[in-house]
Amino acid sequence: MTPLRPHRAATLALPALLLFASLALAVQTKTAAAIDLAISHWMEHHGQPWLTRLLFWVTDAHQPIGILLLGAVLLAWLWRRGERRWCALVIAAVPGGMLLNVLLKWTFQRARPEFGEPLVHLLTYSFPSGHTLGATVFYGVLAVYLRQHARNPTARAALAVAALGMVLLVALSRLYLGAHYPTDVLAGMAEGCAWLTICMTVISNWRSPRPAGAPSKSS
C-alpha cells in the first residue's frame, strides 16, 4: 500500500469535510428545504416502470447487509493475496463507516421524505444516506487498490470513472425511490470520501512493529 501523506490527505479530506458541514448546516437551518423538495417531487412525477425496477435492484443490492457481504468478499480476496494493510482498510472503512453513519443519523435525526404514493417505507432517519456512504467507501477501497496495481493510465482513469458511476447510481436510486433528499445523498458521499481518506492515511502510514532481534535500518 502506497503511503498517503498527510498534506495529500488534507487536500482530499478537507473539501469533503467542508461540504458535509455545509450540508449539515443547510439541513439544520432548513435553507436547502426548497431545492430538496423540488428535486424530490420532480423525481416522484417522472418515474418509469423499467427505471423503477432497475433502481429497486440497485438499492436492494447496496443495503447494509449487501455492502457488508461485498466487503467480506473483498476482504477474503485481499487476505488470500497477503494484503494485510488493505484488509485493515476494508474493515476500518466499510463497517467502520457504516457505524459512523448510524451515529450521524441519530445526531441529526432528519425525517425521511414523505410522498402521496411512496415507493419505499422507512422508519430510520434520513441524513446522511447510509446506502450512498456504503457505496462510497466500498467502491472507493476497491478502486484505489486496483488503481495502485494498474500500470496503464487509461485503466486507472477507467477505474475511477467506474467507481464514481456506481456511487452515483446508488445515490440516484435513493433519490428516485423517495428514500432520501438530495442533501442526504451528497452528505453520504462527502462522509464516505472523508472517512475513507482518514482511514487510508492512518493505515498506510502505520509502522508495523519490528520482530524481536531484527536489525534496525541504521545497523
For residue 191 the three cell numbers come to: 462522509
Tens of pLDDT, residues 66-81: 999 999 999 999 999 9
- Rounded Cα distance between 36 and 184, Å, is 9
| Catalytic residue IDs | 131, 180
Provide the terminal-to-terminal Cα distance of the chain, rounded to the nearest Å.
25
pTM above 0.85, yes or no: yes
170: pLDDT strictly greater than 50: yes
Residue 212 has pLDDT above 70, yes or no: no
pLDDT in tens, 173-184: 999 998 899 999
* CA-to-CA separations, 3 to 110, 200, 201, in angstroms, rounded: 37, 8, 7
